[in-house]
Amino acid sequence: MKFFADTADTAEIADLASTGLLDGVTTNPSLIAKSGRDFMEVTKEICGLTDGPVSAEVVALDHETMMKEAEVLRKIADNVCIKVPLTIDGLKTCKALTKDGTMVNVTLCFSANQALLAAKAGATFVSPFIGRHDDNGVNGLELIEDIRIIYDNYAFETQILAASVRHATHVLECAKIGADVATMPPKVIKALANHVLTDKGIEGFMKDWAATGQSIL
């Protein structure tokens, strides 16, 4: 499974990139606004921090303007992935962009039928939202499972990019189902390394090592 950071905080992205565990980044208008920085500037900086795809989202709602915005965005860097909403205009834009080799992430997917349309439009990634489904009393992980079954049935190459990932259990279950990518806040990626028994083991080792009075350096 690939790990994408869902943030526009370049310091956090750089920190994760240094671990070698980061495969890409997703952004959206809300995350850019939270950063308080210029959209083009921060997107370019992020693209320089990872070799993986960096999703940059169009803000237009009609196909014609989406295409114009995509033309500007994909000139930022070779690893820009154009992010479009799962609407008819978004799918139309996806089809047009993928024809000339541009990576496209179709976002705001909340049903398996929508994911089927994204695959037929040639999307590189489809982003089904888990946490937002959970917030409304629906099991978001079932959506990931349904999409996996459909994509496997027809050998679609579109990658399932699990989004709105809230905690480590979401990541575990998505990995078991077979999601290709999980995009999540940096704190969730880092939390995957946490375990009380690991902490307890380190504590014991350090105590025993200190008792020897030795030093490696």
Please list the active-site residues.
83
What is the C-alpha separation between 25 and 6, in angstroms, rounded?
6
2 phi, psi to nearest 5 deg:
-85, 145
The enclosing H or E element of 124 equals none
Q: How many CA atoms lie within 13 A of 173 on its CB side?
A: 17
Backbone conformation region of residue 155, classed left if phi is above 0, alpha if psi is from -120 to 50, else beta: left
Q: Are 8 and 27 in contact (CB under 8 A)?
A: yes
CB 13, CB 46: distance < 8 Å = yes
Look up residue 109 and give its two tokens: 């997917």
Residues linked to residue 83 through DSSP beta bridges, in sequence order: 57, 105
d(CA 201, CA 143): 38
Cβ–Cβ under 8 Å, residues 122 and 103:
no
